[in-house]
């Protein structure tokens, strides 16, 4: 997280911009500021030195005063958001476009509190615009975890730290692990999903994931699965790691290729009498693909083998065009709740005197049964 020095800088800048301290006014003493903000006098002294270097205060005559010329920049009431930029058009009705969706919801909450929100452009940051943004009075930055290891973002965050500008992260980032963050509790979500299946008689439960990379949240979800199985006195089954095809264009041909590939990896785990009785997919669309793979191996999805999804995205999944069976149960990460907590954490970081929020907020997901595990409406041409 931003250290005490950065919080002091942000607080004093906010007081100056809000008119609490006018140009030429003397600032409270180091002792008063230290007591008010709950930091040491050494921290206050360092923060004042930085503000003096930035031109916010003068130190003539033996007392620090607000600088005679203060400008309220266009960014003074702006909070920037930075998430992955890709070719997919943002659609708030599709919550699995997760970081952008949550950023949009959080932005609407922040705007209700009188702040403007702006989206930052990675191409602009690559042209060294980050330093200018940091030095122009930006109120705060909200950044998606999957952007935190980009060199341009690392430089921007360093510039913002120097200026005392708060940075809040959505998601789990090893690169910014000490920052205030809001994230989904994947460990708890996977654990609750296993418990739901166990309560309904499933015992040989395996994770079957189609992926091309390994991420922190995947490891957290796997850990939740392992914990639930062991707590129930059951031997966890090996993760069924299925390669994800790289040229998935959403077509029937691509779906069939992925389903056949999945069937090949599932075959050895699906032996009659000793095979799995439930598969936990990485998300709802993959659960639909696993249903097709089960059929190819002669198993009836959600009869012989139950299917569990994740993310509660099944109502919008394009895979329904090719398969009529999907997850019997899914997990809702409560994206709207996470967005609200993210906005609250930003507001807390902006004002050091505001009620403190936990620095790392893990939002617990909710298990949601899916009636029948079928598409809400029959899909013409789907295999039966």
Question: For residue range 91-135, what is the model confidence (pLDDT) as tens digits?
Answer: 433 444 677 888 888 999 999 988 889 888 777 676 666 666 766
Task: Report whether 142 contacts 347 (CB < 8 A).
Answer: no
Whether residue 280 is found in the same domain as residue 313: yes
Q: Where does the pLDDT of residue 260 fall: very low under 50, low under 70, confident under 90, or very high at 90 and above?
A: very high
Of the candidates 318, 296, 323, which has an alpha carbon nearest to the alpha carbon of residue 249? 318
Q: What is the pTM of this model?
A: 0.74
Whether residue 221 is found in the same domain as residue 251: yes
Whether residue 203 is found in the same domain as residue 326: yes
Whether residue 225 is found in the same domain as residue 113: no
Average pLDDT over residues 277-301: 96
Q: Report which of residues 171 and 368 the model is more confident about.
A: 368
Task: Extract the tokens encoding 8.
Answer: 């002091």
What percentage of residues in the chain have a pLDDT greater than 70? 82
Q: What angle do CA 356, 361, 365 make, to 5 degrees?
A: 145
Domains identified in the chain, total number = 3
- Taking the mean position of all CA atoms in its chain, how far away is CA 100? 9
Per-residue pLDDT, 86: 43
CATH value at residue 196: 3.40.50.2300
Q: Report which of residues 278 and 10 the model is more confident about.
A: 278
| CB-based contacts of 32, cutoff 8 Å, min separation 6 | none
Q: Where are the alpha helices (DSSP H) in the chain?
A: 4-18, 30-37, 41-54, 98-112, 122-126, 130-134, 151-162, 186-199, 216-231, 252-266, 284-296, 335-350
Per-residue pLDDT, 381: 36
> Mean pLDDT score of the chain, rounded to an integer?
83
Whether residue 98 is found in the same domain as residue 13: no
Whether residue 131 is found in the same domain as residue 198: no
Domain that holds residue 42: 4-66
Lowest-pLDDT choice from 183-187, 268-272, 311-315 = 268-272
| Inside any domain, residue 211 | yes
Residue 367 in this model has a pLDDT that exceeds 90: yes
Per-residue pLDDT, 87: 33
Per-residue pLDDT, 21: 77
């Amino acid at each position: 997280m931003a250290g005490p020095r950065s919080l002091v800088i942000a607080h004093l800048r906010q007081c100056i911009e809000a008119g609490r301290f006018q140009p030429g006014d003397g600032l409270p003493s180091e002792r008063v500021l230290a007591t008010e903000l709950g930091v040491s006098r050494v921290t206050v002294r360092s923060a004042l030195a930085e503000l003096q270097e930035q031109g916010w205060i003068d130190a003539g005559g033996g007392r620090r005063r607000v600088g005679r010329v203060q400008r309220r920049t266009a960014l003074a009431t702006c909070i920037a958001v930075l998430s992955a930029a890709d070719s997919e058009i943002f659609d708030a009705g599709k919550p699995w476009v997760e970081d952008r969706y949550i950023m949009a919801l959080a932005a609407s909450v922040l705007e209700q509190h009188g702040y403007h929100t702006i989206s930052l452009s990675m191409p602009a940051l690559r042209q060294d615009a980050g330093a200018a943004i940091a030095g122009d009075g930006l109120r705060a930055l909200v950044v998606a975890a999957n952007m935190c290891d980009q060199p341009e973002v690392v430089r921007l965050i360093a510039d913002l730290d120097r200026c005392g500008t708060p940075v809040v992260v959505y998601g789990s980032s090893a690169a910014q692990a000490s920052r205030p963050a809001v994230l989904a509790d994947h460990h708890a979500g996977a654990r609750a999903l296993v418990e739901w299946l166990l309560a309904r008689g499933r015992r040989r439960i395996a994770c079957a994931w189609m992926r091309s990379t390994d991420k922190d949240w995947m490891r957290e979800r796997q850990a939740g699965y392992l914990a639930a199985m062991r707590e129930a006195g059951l031997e966890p089954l090996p993760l069924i790691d299925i390669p994800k095809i790289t040229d998935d264009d959403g077509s029937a041909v691509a779906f069939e290729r992925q389903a056949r590939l999945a069937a090949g990896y599932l075959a050895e785990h699906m032996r009659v009498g000793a095979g799995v009785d439930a598969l936990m997919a990485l998300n709802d669309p993959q659960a639909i693909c696993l249903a097709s793979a089960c059929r190819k191996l002669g198993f009836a999805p959600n009869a012989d083998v139950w299917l569990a999804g994740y993310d509660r995205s099944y109502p919008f999944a394009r895979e329904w065009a090719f398969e009529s069976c999907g997850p019997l149960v899914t997990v809702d990460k409560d994206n709207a709740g996470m967005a609200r907590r993210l906005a609250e954490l930003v507001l807390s970081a902006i004002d050091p005197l505001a009620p403190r929020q936990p620095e790392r907020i893990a939002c617990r997901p909710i298990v949601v049964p899916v009636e029948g595990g079928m598409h809400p409406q029959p899909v013409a041409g789907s295999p039966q």
